[in-house]
Each structure stands twice: as C-alpha cells, then as structure tokens.
Structure 1
Amino acid sequence: MDSATAREQALDAAEELFYGRGVQSVGMDDIRGASGVSLKRLYQLFPAKEQLVEAYLERRDVRWRRRLAEHVERSADPGERILAVFDWLERWFGEDGFRGCAWINSYGELGATSDRVAAQVRAHKRAFGDYLDALVAEAGLPDALAGQLFLLAEGAMVTAGITGETRPAAQAREAARTLMAATRP
C-alpha cells in the first residue's frame, strides 16, 4: 500500500472513530484496526496522535466548508444565501451520526493541552467567520451583523450537538432573519 492510500485509510478511520467516540477514547491501535494500516506505518505517517488529530480536522474542514458553500451558492439572492447557511446547518444536524461540531468537540478535549489542535480549531472558526463576513458584504448589510450571525450559528451547533435535535438551526435562522430585517438600510 502506498503512502497516500495508507494516509487516506488512516484518516478515514480516524474521522469515524474520533468523531463518533471522541479523540481521547480512541488509541492508535484502534485506528490501526479500523484502517488496516500497520501500526508501524501509521506512526511513520503520523509520529504522534496529535498530528493525526490535526490532519483529521484539517481534512474535515475542507469538506465541511465545501459542502456549506455548495448549498449556499444555490441561492441567487444575497440575503437568502445568509439564511441558506442555517438551512444547511439544519440538514447537517439531521444527518445520521451527528455528534455536534468536530472542532468544538476536539477543542473541548484537547484545546488546553494541544497547540496544534487549538490552531486547527481557530483556523476553522476563522474561515467560517470570514465566509459569513463575505455573505454579509454581498448582501450590503452592516459588517457587525456577520459576528452576530456567527454566534447564532455556533450556538446552534453546540445546542444541536447536546440535544440531538435539528430545531436550533431553524431557531437561529429566524433570529438571523430578524437581525437582517433590523439592519437593512
């Protein structure tokens, strides 16, 4: 098995196990068993578990942001694009196996002890915030609204992860609609 294939198999297993069970409850031997990649090869690819967690979050970030953007871009109206963020969150919250935000979960487990994991989480959240900034600018709404929308979305993620319900996304969407209406010139 070449290195690229082994890396992908290891990351596939890590994503399933880390997201499903939590980072700290999964050992490298669990990743070996689920991926079929030998422990020796696994440590050649990722000399420390922290590096595997970092790579898992980085890869998941690319896919998560791509899926969000693909959904949002289906709306032609700039204001509807903002609301589409919350529609997408509702769909995500309803997916089988949804366990909340992988970055918030990872930060809760390792953020205080792993600078690498904390950096990945901050980069993901910054990119999501920047995306909302761009959507707000396209809609011609006040810049400050983006931060408020970010907090609504993040709050919905945390609440949905805890409750296992999709309703927080719809509630956040309605709050976003109210804020948008209040800030329209």
Structure 2
Amino acid sequence: MTDDEAARARALDAAEELFYARGVQAVGMDAVRNASSLSLKRLYQLFPSKEALVLQFLRRRDERWRQALARHVDTRTAPDERLLAVFDWLHAWFREPGFRGCAFINSFGELGGVSADVAEQARHHKQAFRDYLADLVAASGLPADLADQLLLLAEGAITTAAITGTAAPAVHARTAALALLRAHARNHRADPAVGPR
C-alpha cells in the first residue's frame, strides 16, 4: 500500500465513523483531520472538498455493505433460504453497537436536496440492493415483482430498527417475507415449506 493509499484509508476510516455516528453536516473537516491524525492540508490534497470525502465514504460503504450481505447469503444453498438469509443478516447488522440505520438514507435526508451527487449515490445503493434481491428471486423461480415487495420489507425494517433502537423489525420483516414466499409458492409451484431459522 502506498503512502497515499494508506492516508486515504485513514481519512475514510475516520470519516465513516464520524459521519455515520454524528451525521454528515455535524462533522467538519477539522474533526476528520483530528480523528485521522492527518494534517488539514494533507486531507484536502486527498479530498479536495468535504463533498468529495462524503461521496467516497458512501461509495466505499456501498461496496462493503453489499459484500458483507452477499457473504452471509452465500452461506446458504437453497434459493428460498438465501432470500430469508437477507433478513437474518439485517438482524445481525441491527444488533451491532452503534447501528444508526442506513447511511444512504441518512445522507440523502441531510444532503439529497442540495447535492445531486449524494442523491445519486443513495439511489445507486438502493438500486443495487434491489437488483441483488431480484437475482435471488429469479434464482428461486418466483415472480419478479416479489423483489420489490421484499425490498420494501427490508427497507422498512432498516428504518424502523434505526428509529426504535431494536433488532426486532428484522424478525418481523423475515416473518412477512416467509409468508410472501409461501403465498407465491402456493400460487406458482409446490410449497417449499421453508421454515423459520
């Protein structure tokens, strides 16, 4: 790793922790400088503006979030179990210390009205999540519109968990997802009898 790469990683690590915990607007570049132990000059050499740092934070978080989800889902083999594993992973995420909901929803709420790039990054993340669910649904042989229904369950669980401070919404969303899977199975093929964990 080059010096620049190491410095960028330190800056992004600091920014991610601060932005996610406190919100983007509440955190200035001075705070990122202090947390990363980089000089302000060095920070601005790496990221010419706070918005550039925010966008890179969101891009990196998107990649890491989706990779972590896919790694968990890939531990399951049956198509229906892989769909339900999404909600199991959400449950584990909601229980992490410092969970504050979706960084993309949070950032969109703060900056979506004034930064087209932040709004676009949030849309990209949500579309990528929807596309991932659509791939899982297609592999299960169920109707394509199930992906949008599961997306709404997952997104609702994320937001509700952030507001209530409990992981229970993931359990409720999983139960609803299981009911949807069984209903679609009755309508389109034999019931897979996918039970809860």
- Whether TM exceeds 0.5 here: the answer is yes
- Aligned residue number for residue 75 of structure 2: 74
TM-score by length of 2: 0.92
Q: Which stretch shifts more, 1-10 or 37-46?
A: 1-10
Q: Post-superposition shift, 1:2? A: 1.8
- Aligned positions, number: 185
Q: Are positions 1:168 and 2:166 aligned together? A: no
- Aligned residue number for residue 40 of structure 1: 41
Partner deviation per Cα, 1:24-62 (whole Å, 9 max, x = no partner): 000000000000111011111111111100000100111
Stretches of structure 1 that go unaligned for 5 or more consecutive residues are: none
- Aligned residue number for residue 4 of structure 2: 3
Q: In structure 2, what is the Cα distance between the partners aligned to 1:152 and 1:51?
A: 32
Q: In structure 2, what is the Cα distance between the partners aligned to 1:159 and 1:53?
A: 24
Partner deviation per Cα, 1:152-177 (whole Å, 9 max, x = no partner): 00000000011110000010001011
- Aligned residue number for residue 139 of structure 2: 138
The aligned amino acid for 1:42 is L
3-state DSSP of counterpart to 2:151: helix
The aligned amino acid for 1:16 is E
Q: Which runs of 4+ in 1 moved over 3 A?
A: none
Stretches of structure 2 that go unaligned for 5 or more consecutive residues are: 189-197
- Aligned residue number for residue 20 of structure 1: 21
Which has more radius of gyration?
2
Q: Post-superposition shift, 1:183? A: 1.0
The aligned amino acid for 1:150 is L
Q: In structure 1, what is the Cα distance between the partners aligned to 2:46 and 2:117?
A: 16
Q: Post-superposition shift, 1:139? A: 0.3
Trace 1:11-160 onto structure 2 (pairs within 5 A). Answer: 11-160=12-161
TM-score by length of 1: 0.98
- Aligned residue number for residue 195 of structure 2: none
Note the aligned Cα RMSD (angstroms).
Answer: 0.8
Q: In structure 1, what is the Cα distance between the partners aligned to 2:108 and 2:38?
A: 27
Q: In structure 2, what is the Cα distance between the partners aligned to 1:43 and 1:133?
A: 40
Q: Post-superposition shift, 1:9? A: 0.4
The aligned amino acid for 2:66 is R
The aligned amino acid for 2:102 is C
Identical positions, percent: 63
The aligned amino acid for 2:13 is D
